[in-house]
A and B are shown apart, each in its own frame.
Chain A
Amino acid sequence: MTAVIECKDVKRTYVSGKIEVQALQGVSLNVSAGEFVSLSGPSGCGKTTLLNIIGGLDRPNGGDVRVEDQWLNELSNSQLADLRMNRIGFVFQAYNLIPVLSAAENVGFIMQLQGKSTGERRRRAKQVLDSVGLSGMENRRPAELSGGQQQRVAVARAIASSPAIVLADEPTANLDSKASDALLQLLRQLNEEEGVTIVIASHDPKALEYARRHVRLVDGQIHSDA
């Protein structure tokens, strides 16, 4: 199958004061369309860094990443923003909802950036919120939702604009067991029924059970890929 994500010898070094931290030390990885891949490994192994670079939130010091047919090093910040808006959905550990927007508005926000009409946004937001089990909560603001509900809104936002890829960074870290199961089930359903490529970075063994391919990172390098 065609690789929808291609990482070629990706390196990322952070400098903190006088200390240099090599977060990624030459990672090469191909992810095909429709795969459900987990990234695991100990804290500081570079999971989030790799996810950020794939999503165009960060730039590597060496190597390059291709998402669909675009090499990210060739894109400007504005073009990266376009790529994220149109092709990539993000789910963050800390939910990261916009506090002044309701659940439906948060879900419809990316579509609003895409220039979709109000009616279309409302319909799609309701549909997606229904699918994540949040019927009737469209008008609630993040502060009025539980952690699990907020994370489901975040997932709904990530999938509402029908992205080709969903990148999820520790999506279950702040959820209880029941909410984690529901969320992971939702991601698998999305992957199986809509063919969305999912890359999930997590410590959570349960999260790893849902993925079909497991990539383990240690010290910024791929330790295993199965």
Chain B
Amino acid sequence: MGGLKIMAPIAWRNLWRRKSRTLLTITAIAMAVASLIILGAFMRAWGGSAFDRTVEALTAHGQIHAEGFLDDPTVEHAMPQPAGVLLDVLSGQSVAAWTPRIVALALIRSERESAPIMIYGIDPKRESAVSFLKPNAIDGAPLTSATSKGLIMGRSLADRLQVERGRRVVISAQDENGDIAEIGVRVTGFYKGQPDLQKYAVFVSLKEAQALLGLEGEVSEIAFLAPQRDGINVAIEDLKQAAPDLDIRRWDELQPFAKAMIDLAEGANLIWIFVSFVLVAFGLVNTLMMAVYERMREFGLLQALGMKPVLLLVQILVESVYLVVFGALAGAIAGAVTVNAFSGGLDFGHLGIGAEMFGVSQVLYPKVSAAEITVACSIVIGLSILASLYPALQASRRVPVDVLTRAQT
């Protein structure tokens, strides 16, 4: 501590012997920290958006099926509607919301066209708590109960079938006896967004779908949400204990591509952290090396006066600490201000199709927390100080006479 007390004021004054170099180094460090914070916030927003989009596009935090359904999504792999212990867990604290669904491959026909589809029988009230199918996501009349009449489809499919609201369509599917069952349903509305689902997913009430497929009292799928993202595993465990014979999976097992995209976003963040650090480290080492070699004679003098090598090391490290702490603080402020300026949403409308292809929304909402700023600063400060050890060790290991008296003999 005594050494630090001696060296801190000297290090501070040394810093300002070359103001422009010091300011440039501080700026470089600040830019690295700011870029870590800004890019990190955008990548997290991207990852968060991709997650939200995946969850709301019917996947939810997890799903329950009868064994074999995911490989062969037919009526043979239906399961009873939840009851008993399973219902208790679904209604308990580890699950925030759940919804039963009938899911089946079917054929839809209008007066002019036909198309293969996936028909979903839903309980609209429960569904709106779990997925995107909320009343305000529907153009027209939404389904209002598990027994409602009518059909909701995407605009893409409607265009293909050349139907408008109020027109009737016929849905054909294989029932539980292996026969082809048909119902005629009137199109009551179109759902917004979800460009992928729009091409093939149509929604009718649970009762209507059960009646069509002869699955009274049965469902194909239960989708559920945990109270928080970090509570998903708890919900899965509870459900697996309650229903060991059912196939219960997390969202990322159901949507591995979405999971890969989110991992990619997080991986890109790590790569950027590495690149930023390498740039800062080289800049810092270069600056310190220049400062050290320029003052080698001075360091020889300090040792000649009785300063121990370790104190020299302390002096150079203290100078590095000043540089990186000021740089990191400036970068943290710049990063936080920039992220805050876009916290109301950054519209990537011009990238819309591409963004939605990757499962994210067109508007990203970057956010940064004090903890994330602290982590970014800590990474840069810690690694930069580590990088500055090299020139510091170089200086402290030189023999004083080599640099002090070379010109004097």
Contacts and interface: CB of A to CB of B under 8 A. Distances in A.
Given A82-B306, A96-B301, A100-B14, A57 B6 contact: no
Interface stretch (A27-35, A83-91, A185-193): A83-91
Interface in A1-48: 23, 43-44, 46-48
B137 interface: no
Contacts of A92: 301, 304, 404, 408
A21 B301 CA distance: 24
A148 interface: no
B305 interface: yes
B351 interface: no
A133 interface: no
Given A57-B405, A98-B10, A170-B408, A77 B309 contact: yes
Contact of B302 (A49, A98, A170): A98
Interface residues of A, number: 36
Contact of A98 (B298, B306, B401, B405): B298
B306 A52 contact: no
B308 interface: yes
B160 interface: no
A58 interface: yes
B408 A94 contact: yes
A110 interface: yes
B350 interface: no
B401 A58 contact: yes
Given A115-B2, A157-B305, A170-B408, 6 more contacts: A52-B401, A92-B301, A96-B297, A100-B14, A100-B17, A113-B306
Contacts of B310: 78
Interface string B283-322: 0000000000000011001111111111100000000000
A86 to B, nearest CB: 7
Interface of B: 2, 6, 10, 13-14, 17, 297-298, 301-311, 399-401, 404-405, 407-409
A109 B305 contact: yes
Question: Taking each of B2, B14, B17, B400, which has the highest tally of chain A beta carbons within 10 Å of its own beta carbon?
Answer: B400
Given A92-B408, A113-B6, A81 B306 contact: yes
Q: 4 smallest A-B Cβ distances: which pairs? A: A85-B306, A100-B13, A58-B401, A57-B401
Contact of A93 (B13, B303, B307, B408): B408
Contacts of B311: 113
Contacts of B404: 57, 92, 96
A169 B308 CA distance: 22
Interface in A80-135: 81-86, 90, 92-94, 96, 98-101, 109-110, 112-113, 115
Interface of A: 23, 43-44, 46-49, 52, 55, 57-58, 77-78, 81-86, 90, 92-94, 96, 98-101, 109-110, 112-113, 115, 157, 169-170
Given A98-B10, A100-B14, A115-B2, A90 B305 contact: yes
9 contacts: A48-B408, A57-B399, A58-B401, A81-B307, A82-B306, A85-B306, A96-B298, A98-B301, A110-B306
A94 B298 CA distance: 11
A99 B304 contact: no
B409 A99 contact: no
Contacts of B408: 48, 92-94, 169-170
Contacts of B309: 77-78, 81
A215 to B, nearest CB: 17
B10 A81 contact: no
A113 B307 contact: yes
Contact of B305 (A48, A58, A93, A110): A110
A92 B402 CA distance: 15
A104 B187 CA distance: 93
Nearest to A112: B6
B386 to A, nearest CB: 24
A86 B4 CA distance: 20
Nearest to B297: A96
Contact of A101 (B10, B307, B399): B10
B342 to A, nearest CB: 43
A78 B308 contact: yes
A44 B409 contact: yes
Contact of B399 (A58, A82, A157): A58
Given A57-B400, A100-B10, A85 B409 contact: no
Contacts of B302: 98
B226 to A, nearest CB: 60
Contacts of A78: 308-310
Contacts of B401: 52, 57-58
Contacts of B400: 57
A84 B304 contact: yes
Nearest to A157: B305
A169 to B, nearest CB: 6
Contacts of A115: 2
Nearest to B301: A96
